[in-house]
Amino acid sequence: MKIENVLVLGASGTIGSLTGGVLAQNGFHVDYLSRTKSGSQKGLEKAMAQARSEVIAKNITCGDYDTMLLDSCSRADWILECVAEDLAIKQAMYQQIDHYRKPGSIVSSVTSSLALEDLPKGRSEDFQKHFLSTHFYNPPGKMLACEICGQSKTDPAVVDFMADFLSSRLRRAVIPVRPEAGFAGNRIAFLLFARITELAIEHGVEMMDYLIGPYTGRIMPPLATLDLVGLDIHKAIIHSLQDHTSDPLHERIVLPNYINEMIASGRLGRKARDKGGFYKRLESGKFVYMDPKALAYVPAFHPHVQFVEQAKQYIRIGMYRQAFGTICDAQGIEADIVKEILATYIAYSYMLIGQVTEEKYGIEGIDRVMTTGFNWAGPSLIVHMLGGKDNAAALLRSQHLDVPASLMQDTVCDRYLFNAGRYFPAR
Amino acid sequence: MNQSSVYILGGFQTDFSRNWARENKHISAMMREAYEGSLEATKIKPSDIKAAFIGNFAAELYCMQGHLGAFFVDFDPAFKGLPTSRFEGACASSALAALSAMAHIQAGHYDCIAVLGVELMKSVSPAQGGDYLGTAAWYERESAGIEFPFPKLFGKLGDVYEERFGLKDEHLARIAAINYANAKRNPNAQTRDWYMSYEHACQKGQYNATVTGRIKVTDCSQVTDGAVCLYLASESFAADYAKRLGQSLEKIPRILGWGHTTAPIEFAAKVADSEGNPYVLPWTRKAVADAYARAGIRDCWDLDVIETHDCFTTSEYMAIDHFGLTAPGQSWKAIEEGMIEMGGRLPINPSGGLIGCGHPVGATGARQMLDAYKQVTNTAGDYQIPGARRAATLNIGGSATTNVVFIIGFSE
């Protein structure tokens, strides 16, 4: 197997254009196809902006499905499908490319939420043998994670080849995952997002992003992250996890009704800038926040909780463990919320070892996707900052969560991690 | 002068891609992470450290914070009363801290000294930062009212080369491309995930704008937040340390030689000084020659690798002939022959240098020394020069005003 020419389907979209851009940056020739050539050219503009160079344009050819699909498919060594997250649309596209692609060419989808087994149904044996998911994170110029997974008929050698290719040629942090909906990253993150959206009904958007803010081990607050993701995408992922996964915390994967109403009114997040999402930016530059109960925006009230401010002060001077000690020692409803989210993150991550990633990777596979896909501190680092697994186990018990055996057997959390502070902004 | 040996025990570099201002961190957090990482990396104990010397250029300007040595004392209860000092020599600040540490060790004052270089630069806008950097030149004469004074000064260095010997921009572009390519192998390099190619470096346009004169964006080093903490020690301490780690003393590298010169601060005065001299920057050349002499080496061909001060592509172009890879004015030959690339006859900046790895001003000298240590101890990972035994560093402050060269490694 060898990759020189790549075809990106859905190249007008963000993930298609930017992932294609990463390929072009690394010297591969990439065909950008979408419904219209002008759409593909917009994708090229995004790719150049990501690379901060016009030079990569020499490696990219733009076109549309009607005029270029046959030629592009027939010369592509790898066809990367990034079309809309809809089973019927993807299957229709696969039907076409199955006719045109050359035998042995690799076909991958960026999906993580659709059932991988269903996607290539009805396609040729060679297609199915060479079909897999390569789930890039957005934006791929900054987020290096790529979850990779075959389906039952995928040749394991194809998965191994792509894992090596993505790692050695595209500098991706490759995470081999099992064909579970949401794979590893979205499975874990969206359970937490779901709980935070639920808590926002009672405590408000601003308060939730304040309590579970960057100082708890993430570059961006959770509801601000959902505004970036888009609430429509959030809903699709939640539904997929509800329908296709099963585990002891499954009932926590919820979609509060106010989110449906926000979506219905076009309040999808950053992509609907005028309408807003959880946040809305006013012309003055100030933000107002969605009140989930009233479904209206309310002014900022700038929360100030003593233990949060104390933890941030420790973080500001690089004393990270002391910050987490402060959180653990704190009492009250706000402290309980932070402890619940931290404990759930740890419990769920360790619980899913072997279910979403292979057992042999231990917590490191999950650490890798959470750090390189979400810019969150990995769960083992949170355990380390809490003072080790005994302290973490005590936290889980205090939140009525079972302590996974894998947590108590883990040694990764005992290790010193260089540059760990990068995951804990003092905000 | 017979001077006792000074050993280098390794240390730790923060990831130069981090934006500590965006992390909302105080400069002491960066110092603390560098210090704690260095303990983990070297297995030095707090009680081993008898003094701490901090290299920093302008924390008063960037962070409204001076007296940085005092912060080190907070890092461990064992440090109450620890002697600390802060050293400033523009971009050569931490090399000056290391020189001073070396002198204290040789004088028998202390047997193990932490040298910590640090700069937090992303706290201000590029224009403001450029103005602050201008204080490393003669501010009133060379910087005041000029948006980016240092690109201008190092652009002039290229102009002098052009006048005296001829200079092609394509050679400068090659220097940029090599440094970025090397940085991709360095897990702590600021630009390791950035796109770069020779073609891009040659091109002028929206994404590679002209900064001034011949200097484009790709000719410049980076604005970087970063810190490095390393340890220098006496022979007796190094022997005990080696024993503690189950190593032999012979495997711990030494500072074999050093050179330190200060040229007139104004760039025009430097150029005037060099009229009739084969070298464009004779005081930089003298620092190199002094280091060679003190290390007892004949010339650059007794080295395996160089980490030089490529604040701009023109300064690396200058370093190539000043280290003696070519005759004066013929640096282009080394570039065209691939001499300075990984796998070349004498690789320069396998770390990526200031252009690729990054340039937190007050930390750069210490970073170069740490990379030299890594090369000669075969611990540089993917950017290792196979079999390296002797490495040189050149750290310059201002427009090659302060020049510090170290030769690090093994005599044989």
Asked whether B97 and B105 are in contact (CB, 8 A), the reply is no
Q: What residue type is B167 in one-letter code?
A: L
Mutate to test the interface with A, among B23, B40, B218 (most CBs of A within 10 A): B23
Tokens (6 digits) for A112: 């993580």
- C-alpha to C-alpha distance for A82 and A84, rounded to whole angstroms: 7
- C-alpha closest to that of A267 among A243, A242, A290, A236: A290
B113 to chain A, minimum CA–CA distance in Å? 22
A60-64 and A78-81 strand pairing = unpaired
Using the Cβ of B73 and the Cβ atoms of chain A, whether some distance falls under 8 Å is answered with no
Using the Cβ of B200 and the Cβ atoms of chain A, whether some distance falls under 8 Å is answered with yes
Residue A139: asked if its preceding bond is cis (omega within 30°), the reply is yes
**Residues near A143 by Cβ (< 8 Å), separated by ≥ 6?**
A136, A137, A372, A373, A374, A375
Q: Which of A141, A144, A316 sits opposite B29 (nearest CB)?
A: A316
B252 to chain A, minimum CA–CA distance in Å? 23
Task: Determine the average pLDDT of the residues in B5-12.
Answer: 98
- C-alpha to C-alpha distance for B331 and B329, rounded to whole angstroms: 6
Using the Cβ of A102 and the Cβ atoms of chain B, whether some distance falls under 8 Å is answered with no
- C-alpha to C-alpha distance for B233 and B9, rounded to whole angstroms: 7
A419 to B33: CB separation less than 8 angstroms, yes or no: yes
Domain A5-176 - what CATH class? alpha beta
> Does residue A115 register a pLDDT over 90?
no
As a whole number of angstroms, the longest Cα–Cα distance in chain B is: 58
pLDDT score recorded for residue B2:
60
Task: Sort residue A122 into left (φ over 0), alpha (ψ -120 to 50) or beta.
Answer: left
A145-150 and A173-176 strand pairing = parallel
Q: What residue type is A266 in one-letter code?
A: G
**From-to residues of CATH 3.40.50.720 in chain A:** 5-176
- C-alpha to C-alpha distance for A135 and A240, rounded to whole angstroms: 16
* pLDDT (tens digit per residue) in B257-282: 999 999 999 999 999 999 999 999 99
Using the Cβ of A51 and the Cβ atoms of chain B, whether some distance falls under 8 Å is answered with yes
So what's the ipTM on this one? 0.95
- C-alpha to C-alpha distance for B4 and B108, rounded to whole angstroms: 9
Angle of the B313-322 helix axis to the B282-295 helix axis, nearest 10? 50
Q: Which of B23, B184, B199 sits opposite A422 (nearest CB)?
A: B23
Q: Between the CA of residue B26 and those of A313, A385, A418, B65, B141, what are the distances in Å?
A: 10, 20, 18, 9, 33
Q: Give B10's contacts in chain A (Cβ within 8 Å).
A: none
Integer distance in angstroms from the first to the last C-alpha of chain B? 21
- C-alpha to C-alpha distance for B65 and B111, rounded to whole angstroms: 29
How many Cβ contacts (< 8 angstroms) between chains A and B?
A: 78
CATH 3.40.960.10 fits B6-124+223-245, yes or no: no
DSSP state letter for A111? -
Task: Determine the average pLDDT of the residues in B287-300.
Answer: 98
Tokens (6 digits) for B400: 């090659």
Long-range contacts of B240-245 (CB under 8 A, 24+ apart): B241/B9, B241/B44, B241/B48, B241/B112, B244/B43, B245/B43
Task: Determine the average pLDDT of the residues in B99-109.
Answer: 98
In chain B, DSSP finds a helix count (H) and a strand count (E) of 15, 11
Q: Which of A25, A53, A317 sits opposite B32 (nearest CB)?
A: A317
> Does residue B307 register a pLDDT over 60?
yes
A54 to B18: CB separation less than 8 angstroms, yes or no: no
> Does residue A337 register a pLDDT over 80?
yes
pLDDT score recorded for residue B3:
78
What is the gyration radius of the CA atoms in chain B, in angstroms?
20
Share of residues in chain A with pLDDT > 70 (%): 100
* pLDDT (tens digit per residue) in B134-192: 999 999 999 999 988 999 999 999 999 999 999 999 999 999 999 999 999 999 999 99
Q: What number of other Cβ atoms are within 10 A of residue B171's Cβ?
A: 18
**Residues near B256 by Cβ (< 8 Å), separated by ≥ 6?**
B294, B295, B296, B297, B390, B407, B408, B409, B410, B411
Predicted confidence band at B412 (pLDDT cuts at 50, 70, 90)?
A: confident
* pLDDT (tens digit per residue) in A137-166: 999 999 999 999 999 999 999 999 999 999
Asked whether A31 and A4 are in contact (CB, 8 A), the reply is no
- C-alpha to C-alpha distance for A141 and A163, rounded to whole angstroms: 18
Task: Determine the average pLDDT of the residues in A76-105.
Answer: 96
Torsion of CA B100, B106, B107, B108, to 10 degrees: 120
Q: Give A167's contacts in chain B (Cβ within 8 Å).
A: none
Mutate to test the interface with B, among A19, A55, A171, A385 (most CBs of B within 10 A): A55
The percent helix, strand, coil of chain A (3-state, each to 5) is 55, 15, 35
A419 to B18: CB separation less than 8 angstroms, yes or no: yes
Share of residues in chain B with pLDDT > 70 (%): 100
Predicted confidence band at A390 (pLDDT cuts at 50, 70, 90)?
A: very high
**From-to residues of CATH 1.10.1040.50 in chain A:** 185-423
Tokens (6 digits) for B320: 């190539």
Using the Cβ of A427 and the Cβ atoms of chain B, whether some distance falls under 8 Å is answered with yes
Q: Between the CA of residue A401 and those of A51, A376, A390, A394, B180, what are the distances in Å?
A: 45, 21, 14, 10, 48
Residue of B nearest to A53 (CA): B207
A54 to B195: CB separation less than 8 angstroms, yes or no: no
Q: Which of A53, A315, A419 sits opposite B15 (nearest CB)?
A: A419
DSSP string, B94-146: HHHHHHHHHHHHHTTS-SEEEEEEEE--TTS-HHHHHHHHGGGS-IIIIITT-
Q: Which of A55, A144, A427 sits opposite B200 (nearest CB)?
A: A55
Question: Which backbone phi and psi does A136 adopt, to 5 degrees?
Answer: -85, 155
Q: What residue type is A400 in one-letter code?
A: H
Tokens (6 digits) for A379: 């769960």
A52 to B197: CB separation less than 8 angstroms, yes or no: no
A173-176 and A287-291 strand pairing = unpaired
Q: What is the mean pLDDT of chain B?
A: 97
Using the Cβ of A425 and the Cβ atoms of chain B, whether some distance falls under 8 Å is answered with yes
SS3 B79: helix
Q: What is the mean pLDDT of chain A?
A: 97
> Does residue B75 register a pLDDT over 90?
yes
Share of residues in chain B with pLDDT > 90 (%): 99
B29 to A52: CB separation less than 8 angstroms, yes or no: no
Q: Give A52's contacts in chain B (Cβ within 8 Å).
A: 194-195, 207
Q: Between the CA of residue A9 and those of A12, A151, A412, B90, what are the distances in Å?
A: 9, 20, 39, 51
B198 to chain A, minimum CA–CA distance in Å? 10
> Does residue A232 register a pLDDT over 80?
yes
- C-alpha closest to that of B68 among B81, B79, B52: B52
Q: Give B12's contacts in chain A (Cβ within 8 Å).
A: 418
- C-alpha to C-alpha distance for A356 and A367, rounded to whole angstroms: 12
Residue of B nearest to A143 (CA): B193
Mutate to test the interface with B, among A53, A308, A309 (most CBs of B within 10 A): A53
Asked whether B348 and B174 are in contact (CB, 8 A), the reply is no
A425 to B23: CB separation less than 8 angstroms, yes or no: yes
Question: Which backbone phi and psi does A274 adopt, to 5 degrees?
Answer: -65, -35
Task: Determine the average pLDDT of the residues in B323-351.
Answer: 98
Q: What residue type is A201 in one-letter code?
A: I
SS3 B394: strand
Tokens (6 digits) for B355: 């252009």
- C-alpha to C-alpha distance for A276 and A206, rounded to whole angstroms: 14
**Residues near B407 by Cβ (< 8 Å), separated by ≥ 6?**
B255, B256, B257, B258, B291, B292, B294, B295, B297, B303, B390, B391, B392
A139 to chain B, minimum CA–CA distance in Å? 13
Task: Determine the average pLDDT of the residues in B66-83.
Answer: 97
Using the Cβ of A171 and the Cβ atoms of chain B, whether some distance falls under 8 Å is answered with yes
A422 to B199: CB separation less than 8 angstroms, yes or no: no
pLDDT score recorded for residue B1:
53
What is the gyration radius of the CA atoms in chain A, in angstroms?
22
A318 to B32: CB separation less than 8 angstroms, yes or no: yes
Q: Which of A54, A317, A421 sits opposite B207 (nearest CB)?
A: A54
Please give the CATH topology (third level) of the domain spanning A185-423: N-(1-d-carboxylethyl)-l-norvaline Dehydrogenase; domain 2 (1.10.1040)
DSSP string, A175-195: EEB-S-TTTTHHHHHHHHHHH
Q: Give A318's contacts in chain B (Cβ within 8 Å).
A: 25-26, 28-33, 36
* pLDDT (tens digit per residue) in B39-57: 999 999 999 999 999 999 9
